[in-house]
């Protein structure tokens, strides 16, 4: 458990450092920072859960049990799909060795798609991953992000729309990742 307000600084930076070094120990933020942006920043650096003070002790215990039940999932620091590399720890993306500058929401969306490479990610899952369940974006916001990602990723196409289902990231040969 980590708190955002520590005498020696924000634990957000500490968790980011641990994740950058490959530490996969589950982490739960327990803090008074209650804005959606605060919670999202916790998840973006690798938190498994985020609980705002004041909280109910039963809820904290339930969340800890849920994290323990999942176990320590080893997440790759770099996800590769064909010639695309998504470096989660460094928040960098490269295609054919060339760095691609992505905005925050673009990176979050691409990370979600890369982690689920070869599987369809629904519009709802993409919105929840990028904006959280409490914030609904403009009606076509995810389409704008997907279009921008397609432009930046270039060809051959890796990002596909599955009509009526969502979006799919996979190599041109149909392989999910390597």
What's the confidence (pLDDT) of residue 43? 83
pLDDT greater at residue 68 or residue 110: 110
Q: How far apart are CA 16 and CA 37, in angstroms?
A: 16
78-169: CATH topology is Arc Repressor Mutant, subunit A (1.10.10)
Model pLDDT, residue 136: 63
pLDDT (tens digit, 9 = 90+) per residue, 150-170?
Answer: 999 998 999 999 998 999 999
Number of H helices, E strands in the chain: 6, 8
Q: Where are the domains of the chain?
A: 11-70, 78-169
Token pair 């010639």: residue: 83
The pLDDT score that the predictor gives to residue 84 is 94
The predicted pLDDT at position 14 comes to 85
* 116-151 per-position pLDDT tens digit: 889 998 888 888 777 765 556 667 788 888 999 999
C-alpha torsion 50→54→59→63, nearest 10? 20
What's 171's DSSP letter? -
pLDDT value at 90 more than 60: yes
Instruction: Please tell me the CATH code under which domain 11-70 is placed.
Output: 3.40.50.2300
Question: What pLDDT, on a 0 to 100 scale, did the predictor assign at position 61?
Answer: 86
């Amino acid at each position: 458990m980590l708190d955002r307000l520590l005498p020696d600084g924000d634990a957000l930076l500490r968790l980011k450092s641990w994740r950058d070094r490959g530490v996969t120990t589950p982490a739960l933020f327990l803090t008074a920072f209650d804005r959606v942006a605060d919670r999202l920043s916790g998840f973006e650096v690798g938190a498994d859960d985020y609980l705002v003070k004041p909280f109910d002790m039963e809820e904290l215990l339930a969340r800890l049990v849920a994290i323990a039940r999942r176990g320590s999932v080893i997440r790759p620091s770099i996800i590769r799909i064909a010639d695309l590399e998504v470096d989660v720890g460094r928040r960098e993306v490269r295609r054919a060795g060339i760095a691609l500058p992505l905005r925050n929401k673009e990176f979050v969306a691409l990370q979600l798609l890369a982690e689920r490479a070869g599987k369809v990610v629904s519009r709802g899952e993409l919105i929840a991953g990028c904006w959280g369940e409490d914030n609904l974006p403009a009606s076509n916001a995810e389409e704008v992000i997907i279009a921008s990602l397609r432009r930046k990723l270039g060809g051959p196409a890796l990002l596909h729309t599955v009509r009526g289902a969502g979006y799919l990231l996979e190599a041109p040969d149909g392989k999910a990742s390597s």
